[in-house]
Amino acid sequence: MSAEIKVPTLGESVTSATVSRWLKQPGDAVSTDEAVVELETDKVSVEVAAPESGVLGAHAVDEGGEVEVGSLLTTVEGSSGAKPTGQAAPAQAPAEPAPAPAAAQKPAREAANPSGGVNPPPRTSGPVSRPATPPADVAGHAPLPSAAKLMTERSVRSGDVGEGTGKDGRITKGDVLAFLERPAAPAAKTAPAPAAARADDPREERVKMTRLRKTIAGRLKDAQNTAAILTTFNEVDMSAAMAMRAEYREAFEKKHNGARLGFMSIFVRACIAGLREFPAVNAEIAGDDVIYRNFVHMGIAVGGANGLVVPVLRDADQMGFAAIERGIASFGKRARDGQLKLDELTGGTFSITNGGIYGSLMSTPILNPPQSAILGMHKIQDRPIAVAGQVVIRPMMYLALSYDHRIVDGKEAVSFLVRVKEGVEDPRRLLLEI
């Protein structure tokens, strides 16, 4: 008996995936629930496990191949055929050779005139690219002498002018003048010539772009092409937040079963307060409509094994500091392990990204469509600032808010960022909701 291993349901609106890596080879012994293949979707990587113990059958799809939900990946044969440890896997059947490429199509003119003759130039509705002298009448529209003279001077074909208004359809001088006054038809755009293949240097390594990276690239480019992205900046004094964290860190961890008090929960709560006051920052453009939300699904950018992902804290506006910290810690761990679920990466209404953990001092974050704004946090750095007329050294952080100017006005964006600054610089405001 054998059991089939098929592509599982990958989440809402996800219908296909790429086989990124086979973890087991044909003939390998596998155990129940042991991962045998890794699939890559537009959002995350998913491991598919064996439904029962046995010996893995032939791969139905090679690495890099595209698979649909429900399609066959491989099979697991009965455990009686399991090979002993160290036994070489049976050789796979060689892949069938790819079909020869289709012959190049003949040029359009050659196809239109298979006899090999030269086709006449295309007709045009304007005085563009006309021959030096009008050819013989091709449609029976003989021009009057005055019209013929003007047509010769202006390189106009009788066939371009068409039937005249004179007796028996003859072309008059007025017909030619009317034709010359018509707007010229726009020249057809020709496709650019394909770029010559790039010759790789022997010291270079060419690696195929992953499905996730291609999706990220496409989405970010779409954001640039669609939204009117603008960024506003401010800076925040982290002294109060750092003092609160130092004073209550141990008590917080003890009270909330190991949840660690970090700065991210403070920023999340500060953003939620700002989003309540300026709902356009939490809204979305849908066609000709604007969708305003009375909830906050907060996207938190975290680094994963396959790049940056943005899992979503749903109903973050209903969470306290401890719940936010636990959620973020869980996202970070599962992102590193590649265990995030697809539904955890969709539905965000606003996002926060922290380039400071990598040492970034300043950046302009890009929107995560269809969201209308994203907050960028940065490195905390001691800098001299003026306080009450005195120059003092304070731990400062630059903040950046990128927003879609189509829906968020500059005043709203700047005011929102000021509210975030006020909440972080005095966390008591967040507790008192002022």
Residues known to be catalytic: 405, 409
CA 375 vs CA 43, 75, 106, 274, 277: distances in Å? 21, 47, 55, 12, 16
Q: Which residues, 6+ apart, have CB-to-CB distance to 239 below 8 Å?
A: 394, 395, 425
CA 337 vs CA 210, 304, 341: distances in Å? 18, 7, 12
Find the distance separating the first CA and the last CA of the chain, reported in whole Å. 67
Mapping DSSP to helix (H, G, I), strand (E, B) and coil, where does residue 315 land? coil
Q: Which residues, 6+ apart, have CB-to-CB distance to 385 below 8 Å?
A: 237, 391, 392, 393, 394, 396
Give CA–CA dist 281/406, Å, rounded: 11
Give CA–CA dist 338/345, Å, rounded: 13
Name all contacts of 308-314 with Cβ < 8 Å and 24+ positions apart.
308/216, 308/353, 309/43, 309/44, 309/335, 309/340, 309/345, 310/345, 310/348, 310/351, 310/353, 310/368, 311/335, 311/340, 311/344, 311/345, 312/344, 312/345, 312/346, 312/347, 312/348, 313/268, 314/347
Retrieve residue 55's tokens: 């010996």
Ramachandran region of residue 155, left (φ > 0), alpha (ψ -120 to 50) or beta? Answer: left
Asked if 185 and 124 touch (Cβ cutoff 8 Å), the reply is yes
Mapping DSSP to helix (H, G, I), strand (E, B) and coil, where does residue 188 land? coil
Q: Across-strand partners of 399?
A: 234
Retrieve residue 126's tokens: 């304007």
Q: Across-strand partners of 268?
A: none
Retrieve residue 421's tokens: 């600054």
Give CA–CA dist 164/430, Å, rounded: 82
Question: What angle, rounded to 10 degrees, do the helices at 263-277 and 239-255 form?
Answer: 110
